Amino acid sequence: MSSLWSMVHRDVLLVMRRKSEVLTALFFFVIVTSLFPLGIGAEPNLLRKIAPGVLWVAALLSTMLGLQRMFANDYLDGTLEQIALSPTPLVVLVCGKIIAHWVVSGLPLILLAPVIGIQFDLSAQALGVLMLTLLLGTPVLSLIGAIGAALTVGVRGGGVLLSLLILPLYIPVLIFGAGAVYAFDAGLGIDGHLSLLAALLIFSLLGSPWVASIAIRIATE
């Protein structure tokens, strides 16, 4: 556990020294979501209807902005090879990097979502559902993204390949995340959507760190 949290602390500290990376993703999320009310107009019913999809797509894309750097910088300076040779199991260190990515890229989006949601005239209850879906869904985005980042580490033009690899895998998270808010607004139950998001999170937790670890070992050999 000490190695896990040391890796989390290290990665978060490195990102905080390059604040532009964090601010770029946050500004992207804020700007994209703010442009829709300005472009569509101030029709409350229409804004409430498109809000879950817009917020979730913006969150998905802003999370992707930092994925390529999850392993790439360490690969370039040789740190990733040292991590792979560490006596600590590689999967533990990979988990630390995934947690750090979520803390930097996912957690701020959850905290910003209620502020952005006000622009779309979402009720307090709908904002609560939105935050809950983001809380369950954004870790899945980081976990799945770690696989793509590990598979494309050291590959020329890896950013485009990374997008092609993981975007299809993000679709279920997008559907169930936005669908829960839509179902709530329609007066339907949301338990099914939340259960599926939780199942995706558990499945990703069990599989993604191991797959990413194998891909990193192949890349560093």
- The string of pLDDT tens digits covering residues 77-119 is 777 778 777 788 888 888 888 998 898 888 888 998 888 888 8
6-35: pLDDT as tens digits = 888 887 888 777 777 778 888 888 888 888
Rounded CA-CA distance 192/176 in Å is: 9
Average per-residue pLDDT in the chain? 85
% of the chain surpassing 90 pLDDT? 17
C-alpha distance from residue 213 to each of 12, 129, 219 (Å): 20, 33, 10
Lowest mean pLDDT among 38-47, 140-149, 156-165: 156-165
By three-state DSSP, how is residue 43 classified?
A: coil
Which of 66-80, 97-111, 158-172 has the largest mean confidence?
Answer: 97-111
- pLDDT number for residue 158: 66
Which tops the pLDDT comparison, 163 or 181?
A: 181
**Once rounded to an integer, what is the mean pLDDT over residues 179-198?**
88
- The letter for the amino acid at 207 is G
Q: In this predicted structure, what is the pLDDT of residue 151?
A: 85
Question: Alpha helices of the chain — where are they, by DSSP H?
Answer: 2-17, 19-40, 44-64, 69-76, 79-85, 90-101, 107-119, 124-151, 158-185, 191-220
pLDDT over 90 at 196, yes or no: yes
Q: Grade residue 157 by pLDDT with cuts at 50, 70 and 90.
A: low
Smallest CA-to-CA distance from 106 within 184, 35, 15 is with 15
Give the Cα separation of 197 and 191 in Å (integer).
10
Q: Are 81 and 219 in contact (CB under 8 A)?
A: no
Convert the pLDDT of each residue in 120-142 to its tens digit.
888 888 889 999 999 999 999 99
Tell me the two tokens of residue 202.
């558990």
